Amino acid sequence: LALYGGQILPSFHSTMIFRFTAAAFVLAATTSTCAAFSTTLSNPHAATKQPSISSSLYMGPPSDPSAPISDLFGEGSRKYRRTVYTHNEWVKHRSSDRFVNNISTLIYSGIYKNVGKEVFATTSVAVFVWAWNVLVGGYEDFSGVMHDPLIASKWATEIGLPLTIFTTLSPSLGLLLVFRTNASYNRWDEARKFWGLNINHTRDLNRMATAWYGNDSSPGSASAPKQIAKAIDPEEREYLLGQVSLFTWAFVRSMKRHLSPPDEDEEDYIAELKSRLSPEQADAIISATHRPNRALFDLSVAIEKLPMHFMRKNEINKNLSIFEDTLGGSERLLSSPVPLFYSRHTARFISIWLLFLPFALYGQFGDSWNHIMMIPASLLISVFLFGIEELATQLEEPFTILPMQGFCDKIGANCDEIVGWRGQGLDE
């Protein structure tokens, strides 16, 4: 309703005002959509947001303002998703404020930023459908008065599709997304279990090596170990067990490097090996074609040098076979994605389904002013459905979101502690 000096303006002027209003709304809707889901950081506080007290729980962008923009979304942000929970993190995870916190940080979500282009495309289609149908089908002004179409031509008709098409295809789309996310989560879960086995069996290996050091009797033998342990040299024992601990750590650290991007970990890996191993040992592993295999070989040699019965060594070496299994299983996950034809079909299905959805939603929002609510509805639907597919894609390769460096540090500390304990013959 246009007022001038308390008088209603003529219909022509009201029509012109509505045209300008409609054009301004289209521009504003398009701009706001682009700003909210663009990969460019539009909110300066998103990059400087302070992390929580526990850094392991911090899942957002880097807190360093000088961090490159590539760390705010996409591949660069994966390093900030390597969470390790303790009791404090679980308390926050169960907090009654979690829903409010998750909603308040929605526009900072890396998942939603990754699908920004797809959401923008879907919303642009919705804006086009709305604007075209308003122009050729008539419109309602702010006073509730209906006006004739601004484009009057026999070829200018409203565009739309029946909603039945989309309701019929919805179960198929749901099944595709469920299978896609389940397959990706199972890959992440399997990778985490491989590292769980590494943690458990590195402890087992060093525990047996420490407890059995110097025991030349076979398992189950009635021989008295203390008679043999009198010849144990404490300095030699410390060195040999220290080698077992070091090469145990070197294997898992080499495995972590083997499964990580070269540009992220190569320099740190070389520096860590040279700081803990002798120059000859470090160079032998670094120069190897397959570094984890070389570290595992050195660990086998270190076990073989331990003074104990060969049957006890065989029991220790069973752990190395498990390490080979976890390494091979991890290489399988890294080199073999979910079949590409399945992933591509799912992506094409959801893209086409969402791009054409606005054509069917226009008629469903007839109760809103000029069907305007179909635009935010299309935006939200595309955000959440594209987000599900993006979750599956992010989970599919699990190693760059697993805290493997934390696992390696934990294994190294545990093994160093275990080999420092007093074993048989040194308990008095």
**Low-confidence winner among 207-221, 286-300, 331-345, 391-405 (lowest mean pLDDT):** 207-221
pLDDT band with cut points at 50, 70 and 90 for residue 329: very high
The yes-or-no verdict on residue 120 having pLDDT over 70 is yes
Task: Extract the tokens encoding 14.
Answer: 């009201």
What pLDDT is recorded for position 79?
A: 67
What pLDDT is recorded for position 382?
A: 96
Distance CA 364, CA 314 (A): 71
Percent pLDDT > 70 in the chain is 76
The yes-or-no verdict on residue 205 having pLDDT over 90 is yes
Residue linked to tokens 């599919």: 396
Kindly give the interhelix angle for 404-419 and 164-212, rounded to the nearest 10 degrees.
20
Q: Which helix (H) or strand (E) holds 237?
A: helix 234-258
Angle at 142 between CA 140 and CA 145, to 5 degrees: 45
What pLDDT is recorded for position 415?
A: 96
Assess contact for 362 and 153: CB atoms under 8 A: no
Global model pTM greater than 0.95: no
The yes-or-no verdict on residue 293 having pLDDT over 50 is yes
What mean pLDDT is predicted for residues 152-156?
A: 82
Assess contact for 296 and 328: CB atoms under 8 A: no
Distance CA 207, CA 197 (A): 15
The yes-or-no verdict on residue 336 having pLDDT over 80 is yes
Residue positions counted in the chain = 428
Assess contact for 125 and 379: CB atoms under 8 A: no
Question: pLDDT averaged over the chain?
Answer: 82
What mean pLDDT is predicted for residues 191-207?
A: 97
Is 14 or 94 the better-scoring residue by pLDDT? 94
What pLDDT is recorded for position 282?
A: 96
**Low-confidence winner among 16-25, 113-122, 322-331, 360-369 (lowest mean pLDDT):** 16-25
Is 230 or 100 the better-scoring residue by pLDDT? 100
What pLDDT is recorded for position 426?
A: 57
What pLDDT is recorded for position 70?
A: 57
What pLDDT is recorded for position 47?
A: 33
Closest-CA residue to 22 (of 378, 379, 380, 370): 370
What pLDDT is recorded for position 166?
A: 95
Residues 6+ apart with CB under 8 A from 33: 119, 120, 123, 124, 379
Residue linked to tokens 């170990």: 225
Residues 6+ apart with CB under 8 A from 297: none
